[in-house]
Amino acid sequence: MTVLQSPSTRRTEGANGYSTQHVADLLGLSETRIRDYVRRDLLTPQRTSHGHFRFSFQDVVFLRAAKGLTDAAISVRQSNRALTKLRADLIQLDSLSAVRIYANGSVIEVQDDEKAWEVESGQLTMNFSIQELAANVAELAKATAGGEEKALADLNSDEWYNLGLDLEEVDPLQAPDAYREAIKQDPLNADAHVNLGRLYQLSGDLRGATRHYQLALASRPDHQLANYNLGTIFDEQEDCERAAIYYRKASTVPDAHYNLARIRELEGDEVNARRHLRLYHRLIDQEQF
């Protein structure tokens, strides 16, 4: 059974990442150098309505590695090869919080909890923990959550929710507080309820998770992830009948159909089991385009 989906990532205007100046100050890079990486298509940051760049935490990780190559006096050609490969590797990772990028003899290696792999040949001097970098970025996320002129105390519900999304990526322990504040500002913020419920579920607090999924559905009965994740809670408790009710309401979530196929197969309903498997594969294929 696939238990959880990714967080609900509806994001509102005003908290879409970190400006060029903020990233430059954080990493000790020039703004010109950062823009050069964008011009060379090594980075593809979002843009604001005014055309200004907004960088994600993954972009910051990439730029920190780029700075390490520069500090090690690696040639531009070799750096480009390494950075192109590194970008592809980072995209494939589910989480960056436990990753290390370092030099091992004459190669760059990326290491997570399960494996280590070479990025590109060359004698390098990089050695940094992304978790340490994340602590700095978390402070930056809080400082810029509502725009440069807005204090945390003045953030509205959507801005607290956006901050929660940023903190989940770089400092997951602080993310629940941001979602709680979003809910305090607006008890009908369904996405904040879903994300907080998912964090409770991951920690094993099924009662707290159920409460927040139900609160999300009270304001948005068709919320796909709320229905799906509530279904997984009943599934974990082997209450397949109630789980199926919520999976059916999550019709656009591929794993809902996968889990329904499993439940129908257990019931001996081969026809509907195959039907849900076809729907699962169809939705998966659509996600790839």
**Are 178 and 223 found together in one domain?**
no
User: Tens digits of per-residue pLDDT, 20-48?
Assistant: 888 888 778 888 888 888 887 777 788 87
**Are 132 and 263 found together in one domain?**
no
Q: ∠81-82-88 over CA atoms, to 5°? A: 95
Q: Answer with the one of 186, 214, 229 that is the final residue of a domain.
A: 186
Q: Judge whether 114 lies within some domain.
A: no
Whose tokens are 């509102």? That residue is 12
Q: Judge whether 220 lies within some domain.
A: yes
Residue 155 above 60 pLDDT? yes
Residue 105 above 90 pLDDT? no
Q: Judge whether 284 lies within some domain.
A: yes
Q: Judge whether 215 lies within some domain.
A: yes
What is the structure's pLDDT at 239?
94
Q: Please classify residue 80 by burial: count the beta carbons closer than 10 Å to its beta carbon, then call 0-12 exposed, 13-18 middle and 19+ buried.
A: middle
**Are 167 and 261 found together in one domain?**
no
CA distance 171 to 165: 10
Helical pair 190-202 and 224-236, crossing angle rounded to 10 deg: 30
CA distances from 19 to 5, 31, 93, 122, 225 (A): 29, 10, 24, 31, 31
Is the model more confident about 64 or about 288? 64
Rounded to the nearest angstrom, the gap between the alpha carbon of residue 210 and the centroid of all alpha carbons in its chain is: 22
**Are 195 and 240 found together in one domain?**
yes
CA distance 158 to 164: 10
**Are 285 and 147 found together in one domain?**
no
Domains of the chain: total: 2
**Are 64 and 153 found together in one domain?**
yes
**Are 256 and 160 found together in one domain?**
no
Q: Answer with the one of 186, 212, 236 that is the final residue of a domain.
A: 186
**CATH number for 23:** 1.10.1660.10
Cβ neighbors of 168 (< 8 A, separation 6 or more) are 7, 175, 195, 199
Q: Answer with the one of 153, 168, 186 that is the final residue of a domain.
A: 186
**Are 86 and 10 found together in one domain?**
yes
**Are 138 and 179 found together in one domain?**
yes
CA distances from 36 to 31, 42, 77, 92, 127 (A): 9, 9, 14, 24, 24
Is the model more confident about 49 or about 93? 49
Q: Which pTM was predicted?
A: 0.61
**Are 178 and 192 found together in one domain?**
no
**Are 228 and 151 found together in one domain?**
no
CA distance 70 to 83: 11
Q: Judge whether 29 lies within some domain.
A: yes
pLDDT band at 49 (very low <50, low <70, confident <90, very high): confident
In one-letter notation, the amino acid at residue 218 is A
What is the structure's pLDDT at 201?
92
Q: Judge whether 103 lies within some domain.
A: no
- Residues facing 109 on adjacent strands: 102, 118
CA distances from 30 to 15, 51, 96, 98 (A): 23, 19, 24, 27
Residue 235 domain boundaries: 187-289
**CATH number for 219:** 1.25.40.10
**Are 193 and 232 found together in one domain?**
yes
